[in-house]
């Protein structure tokens, strides 16, 4: 892949489109791609991957995020302003009257929901309302999808700005209505202000199996690989697929003999507990910085430090820069902050160079780029500091609805209740880092 990028760049060509053409022309036996390409039916179709995965073996590496990706693939969000603009744009395409009519009635339905501050609808309820207000049905969706993709002549071809929005929306409708609407209960429809003087219409899929099983049914086999998939039974249940072959291998490192771990509970009599309220306490943040400084003086080479969020990390750094902690940390090690350098490769090279000199400290965020698939071997990470447990935002409506969905579906087999699912998201992210 690196060779392809280098050769294409030398010839001022696009390696992405070259690879895409090779796939579509059948010149590839092994295809590498981000796995979100496979989850979304519209993306699979656009990339020409539909025919390729039939009867193929699909290997998904770093698969610990597959649940989130699968749910996102069957979800979409549309602002009211974008839908109103879509209605205006599509009016001129008279040969696509079915689409024009649907977009008009759909926009009217959306505007009606915006009269209340926040509306939360169950999937089955939204199907009924969409049918009453727009006439949406399986048959109608087939007609709309055919019209969207028809290309009778250049003059009547729909522009990408229209196709992309409707393709995403129809993809979600297809998930909801397929198999007699059996998956409708796995969705929530939310209309709420987005804080920018606009409204947001959200079709949220709460069940990863909706999108994942659709992919699994196309393939000969799917192999999931990651260091943080456990517990495997609940993971398989969440994806709706029975994995007949499972392997949990022991770590290459002897954790009992080769890894020193410690929970640091206090610093100067200040309890180091990363609760939400404590994160806003200057006393706690100051004690956290002084604790880091104490250990950085003793630990050689490279050290990684993970925070639960960018906002917490930045608030700590801002406070430390006002006092003496930031300067003291830089006196001991060269300090790097995730996101400060747009090019991660360049930042990593600078970090490794600093490690070889006086040592380096890298401030990172759970679920960020540095927590995913980058190998910090040997001197690059002699220590990893964890500042709190990265629980998802409990105030996020999507998290709340997911927890409620888990609670109502936890009676069978290896399914988890809402609290167990919530805790597992945090500890998978922690293990990954």
Q: What is the helix (H) or strand (E) element at residue 270, kind and residue range?
A: strand 270-271
Q: Is 91 helix (H, G, I), strand (E, B) or coil?
A: coil
Q: Which residue in 153, 151, 154, 150 sits closest to 142, CA to CA?
A: 150
Banded pLDDT at 397 (limits 50, 70, 90) = very high
Out of 1.10.275.40, 1.10.1060.10, 1.10.10.10, 3.20.20.70, the CATH code matching 76-207 is: 1.10.275.40
What's the mean pLDDT in 101-115? 95
Contacts of 279 (CB under 8 A, 6+ apart): 285, 312, 315, 388
Alpha carbon of 261 to those of 207, 254, 430: distances in Å?
A: 36, 13, 14
Strands annotated E in 23-181: 57-61, 76-79, 119-122
CATH T-level fold of 255-386: Rossmann fold (3.40.50)
pLDDT of residue 414: 63
Taken in order 209, 123, 424, 313, the sign of the CA dihedral is positive
Chain segment 201-247, per-residue pLDDT in tens: 999 999 999 999 888 888 899 999 988 888 787 788 889 888 889 99
Are 113 and 80 a contacting pair, CB within 8 Å?
no
Query: How many other C-beta atoms are found inside a 10 Å radius of the C-beta of residue 85?
Result: 15
Measured at the CA of 306, the angle between CA 308 and CA 269, to 5 degrees, comes to 85
Q: Where do we find the tokens 């750094």?
A: 317
Residue 154 pLDDT: 53
> Which pLDDT value is given to residue 151?
66
SS3 state of residue 422: helix
Of 316 and 416, the one with more pLDDT:
316
3-class DSSP state for residue 77? strand
pTM: predicted TM-score of the whole model, two decimal places: 0.87
Residue 87 pLDDT greater than 70, yes or no: yes
pLDDT for residue 117 = 86
Locate tokens 């929306």: which residue?
169
Residue in the structure block whose two tokens are 């990363």: 274
> Widest CA span of the chain, in angstroms?
75
CATH 3.40.50.300 domain range(s) in the chain:
255-386
Residue 73 contacts residue 40 (beta carbons within 8 Å): yes
Instruction: Report residue 22 as tokens.
Output: 């090779």
Asked if 194 and 202 touch (Cβ cutoff 8 Å), the reply is: no
How much is the pLDDT for 157? 73
For residues 170 and 334, what is the distance between their CA atoms, to the nearest angstrom?
A: 51
Burial class (CB in 10 A: 0-12, 13-18, 19+), 177: buried
- Tell me the average pLDDT across 88-113: 93
Cα gap 178→176, rounded to integer Å: 6
The residue count for the chain: 433
Domain with CATH 1.10.275.40 in the chain: 76-207
């Amino acid at each position: 892949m690196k060779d392809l990028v280098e050769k294409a760049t030398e010839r001022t060509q696009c390696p992405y489109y070259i690879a895409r053409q090779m796939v579509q022309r059948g010149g590839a036996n092994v295809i590498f791609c981000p796995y979100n390409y496979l989850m979304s039916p519209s993306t699979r179709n656009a990339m020409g991957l539909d025919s390729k995965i039939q009867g193929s073996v699909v290997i998904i590496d770093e698969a610990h995020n597959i649940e989130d990706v699968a749910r996102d693939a069957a979800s979409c969000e549309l602002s009211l302003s974008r839908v109103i603009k879509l209605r205006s744009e599509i009016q001129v395409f008279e040969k696509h009257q079915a689409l024009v009519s649907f977009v008009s009635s759909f926009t009217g339905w959306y505007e009606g929901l915006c009269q209340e501050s926040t509306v939360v609808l169950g999937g089955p309820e939204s199907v009924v309302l969409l049918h009453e207000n727009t006439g949406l049905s399986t048959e109608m969706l087939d007609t709309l999808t055919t019209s969207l993709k028809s290309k009778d002549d250049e003059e009547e071809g729909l522009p990408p700005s229209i196709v992309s929005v409707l393709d995403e929306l129809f993809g979600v409708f297809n998930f909801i209505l397929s198999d007699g609407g059996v998956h409708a209960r796995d969705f929530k429809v939310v209309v709420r202000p987005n804080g920018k003087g606009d409204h947001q219409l959200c079709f949220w899929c709460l069940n990863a199996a909706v999108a994942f099983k659709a992919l699994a049914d196309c393939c000969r086999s799917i192999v999931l690989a990651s260091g943080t998939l456990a517990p495997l039974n609940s993971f398989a249940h969440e994806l709706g697929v029975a994995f007949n072959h499972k392997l949990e291998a022991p770590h290459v490192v002897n954790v009992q003999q080769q890894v020193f771990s410690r929970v640091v509970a206090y610093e100067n009599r200040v309890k180091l507990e990363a609760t939400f309220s404590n994160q806003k306490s200057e006393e706690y943040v100051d004690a956290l910085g002084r604790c880091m400084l104490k250990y950085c003086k003793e630990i050689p080479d490279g050290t990684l430090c993970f925070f639960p969020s960018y906002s917490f990390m930045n608030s700590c750094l801002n406070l430390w820069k006002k006092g003496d902690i930031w300067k003291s940390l830089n006196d001991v090690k060269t300090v790097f902050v995730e996101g400060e350098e747009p090019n991660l490769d360049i930042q990593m090279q600078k970090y490794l160079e600093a490690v070889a000199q006086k040592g380096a400290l890298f401030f990172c965020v759970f679920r960020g780029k540095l927590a995913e698939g980058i190998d910090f071997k040997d001197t690059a990470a002699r220590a990893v500091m964890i500042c709190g447990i990265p629980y998802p935002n409990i105030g996020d409506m999507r998290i709340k609805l997911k927890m409620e969905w888990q609670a109502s579906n936890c009676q069978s087999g290896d399914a988890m209740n809402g609290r167990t699912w919530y805790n597992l998201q945090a500890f998978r992210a922690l293990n990954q880092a």
